[in-house]
Structure 1
Amino acid sequence: MVTQAEKAQRFKALHDKPGCFVIPNPWDAGTAKLLASMGFQALATTSAGLAFALGKPDGAGRVTRDETITNAHAIVAATDLPVSADLEDGFGAKPESAAETIKRAAAVGLVGGSIEDSTRGGDKPIYDIGQAVERMVAAAEAARALPFPFMLVGRAENYLHGHPDLADTIRRLQAYQEAGASVLYAPGLKTRKEVATLVKSVDRPVNVLMGPGGATIADLAALGVRRVSVGGSLARAAMGAFLRAAQELKDKGTFGFTAEATPHAELNAAFD
């Protein structure tokens, strides 16, 4: 059995070595096992995938911390891979909330997690930078108190909330790195030039959400990106296939969708 400390060391090593690695996003134990069987080196949870699986909208504060931690625990238990979690805004505006979320994340076996500067709704979608930094400092202190390296991700959410200001995003990520973040992440960047500028402006590993402008993993690696995640895209792809199959069943009364279904025996073997 691989210990949490061993997972943490493996995860940190992925960030320390040259090159770029992919960290795909399962949304439950089954998808985690499937991804592990394909040879990925680490996994990250997805708030969107979890929200949709629970029948809730993403990004509206409708998924609780308990639900997030329970889902992360199931994914951690499903494989021997290091797992990082999307911990949203730490589930509270106060720094103490972010710190408690990191402690609870570590308690279920996670070796990394992100704290974002989104307020999760309302008229003011992004925390003031001062408050955002205080929250990151508290999260970093909780992470450093652990007996293993916990890869704390500082997330700047400007681009996801209608404020595509690269200068402010870089300013925030620089502040989060000084506050103690191990990895930096600005989901929603639109161009390779923006990615390249960000990477050159910080001295922590940078995570990028897929490839803006059609960039591939190789393209992003050439820009200096250290890791690439896909957010809720795998979950949405699965749900897209489900909806197309259900629509065929309803509208045509046919079963052509079964031709692309994974064989029952193959899934049984994967989950044995």
Structure 2
Amino acid sequence: MTQVEKAIRFKQLHQKGAPLVLYNIWDAGGAKALAEAGASAVATGSWSVAAAHGYPDGEAIPLDLALSVVERICATVNLPVTVDFEGGYATEPSEVAENTRKVIRAGAVGINFEDRIVNGKGLHKVEAQVARIKAIRATAEEEGVPLFINARTDLFLSAKPDDHADLVSDALTREAAYAAAGADGFFVPGLTDHDLIRQITEAASLPVNVMMRGALETVADATATGAARASFGPAPYARYLSDLQAAYMEATKPA
């Protein structure tokens, strides 16, 4: 597939009630393993990519290094690749756009783009995030690639579960604004209550992405909420480390 064909295919994979499953990886080897296992697309996780190279999350890994990882992944598998791009490694729309151009030229066909102020407090105001999304969309059009912009809101990650019901309205306000700005998907990490997710999937115009954690124990759970995408975030990398440590301890235990 060409990059454009991958982008078109990736968007088609988002179906409400039949979620695209993305078991987030951090290197080309992991991407190849998932491709051989039958994955229809691969996704990086920012925490995992950073940790695998000795950095904390939060855009601490240098952008050039992160891009080199993306480029190797895209060169290794003939699948759509989406990148956890955090806040775009910049605040100003023009700078975010140019950084996104680099992601596209590395071969990716999708990004996660969050509204949290990375290394700051709170979320970007809706108007500011809309301007950033519009700049990304314009750049993707310039590059000739229908980039899948998965607009992530961190409303729920930054709040206590008991407060999540009160945030659904705010989340839907952001979803509508992000959709109008050119986003293709809406990501609500941290929200795991099935009924609340269902409220969002029923009202949203965009396909909704959930993160598998807490009460979202299985893909069947995500399917029942109407989600169109289920991703695993840092969980695969955490499991990989646990398995690696266990294998080492088994190999080195006294006879």
> What's the TM-score, normalizing by structure 1?
0.85
- Asked if residue 153 in structure 1 is aligned to residue 155 in structure 2, the reply is no
Paired residues of 1:22 and 1:227 also in contact (CA < 8 A): yes
- Stretch moving more, 156-165 or 87-96: 156-165
Q: What does 1:143-182 correspond to in 2, within 5 Å? A: 143-162=140-159, 164=164, 165-182=167-184
Paired residues of 2:17 and 2:223 also in contact (CA < 8 A): no
> In 1, Cα distance between the equivalents of 2:195 and 2:105?
39
Paired residues of 2:17 and 2:227 also in contact (CA < 8 A): no
> In 1, Cα distance between the equivalents of 2:20 and 2:90?
31
In structure 2, the CA distance between the partners of 1:255 and 1:92, relative to structure 1 (3 Å rule), is farther
> In 2, Cα distance between the equivalents of 1:136 and 1:26?
25
The aligned residue for residue 44 of structure 1 is 43
Match of 1:118 among 116, 126, 134: 116
The aligned residue for residue 125 of structure 2 is 128
Paired residues of 2:16 and 2:207 also in contact (CA < 8 A): no
Q: Which has the higher contact order (CA 8 A, sep 6+)?
A: 2
> In 2, Cα distance between the equivalents of 1:194 and 1:236?
27
Match of 1:142 among 127, 136, 139: 139
**SS, match of residue 157 in structure 1:** coil
In structure 2, the CA distance between the partners of 1:167 and 1:30, relative to structure 1 (3 Å rule), is same
- Stretch moving more, 145-154 or 163-172: 163-172
Deviation of residue 143 (structure 1)?
Answer: 2.2
Deviation of residue 194 (structure 1)?
Answer: 1.7
Q: What are the superposed Cα offsets for residues 212-241 of structure 1, whole Å, 9 maximum, x if unpaired?
A: 414421232232211111111111100112
The aligned residue for residue 34 of structure 1 is 33
- Asked if residue 194 in structure 1 is aligned to residue 196 in structure 2, the reply is yes
Aligned alpha-carbon RMSD (Å): 2.1
Gaps of 5+ in 1: 257-272
The aligned residue for residue 243 of structure 2 is 241
> In 1, Cα distance between the equivalents of 2:226 and 2:15?
13
Letter of the aligned partner of 2:65 in structure 1?
A: E
Deviation of residue 17 (structure 1)?
Answer: 8.0
In structure 2, the CA distance between the partners of 1:18 and 1:222, relative to structure 1 (3 Å rule), is closer
Match of 2:105 among 100, 104, 107: 107
> In 2, Cα distance between the equivalents of 1:211 and 1:162?
16
> In 2, Cα distance between the equivalents of 1:212 and 1:138?
35
Q: What does 1:81-100 correspond to in 2, within 5 Å? A: 81-100=79-98
> In 2, Cα distance between the equivalents of 1:10 and 1:114?
17
Paired residues of 2:13 and 2:20 also in contact (CA < 8 A): yes
**SS, match of residue 113 in structure 1:** strand
**SS, match of residue 71 in structure 2:** helix
**SS, match of residue 236 in structure 1:** helix
- Asked if residue 220 in structure 1 is aligned to residue 218 in structure 2, the reply is no
Paired residues of 1:177 and 1:204 also in contact (CA < 8 A): yes
> What's the TM-score, normalizing by structure 2?
0.90
Letter of the aligned partner of 1:64 in structure 2?
A: P
> In 2, Cα distance between the equivalents of 1:181 and 1:231?
20
- Stretch moving more, 97-106 or 210-219: 210-219
> In 2, Cα distance between the equivalents of 1:255 and 1:29?
35
Letter of the aligned partner of 1:136 in structure 2?
A: I
Identity level (%): 33
Q: Which of the pair has more CA radius of gyration?
A: 1
Gaps of 5+ in 2: none
Letter of the aligned partner of 2:237 in structure 1?
A: A
Letter of the aligned partner of 2:43 in structure 1?
A: A
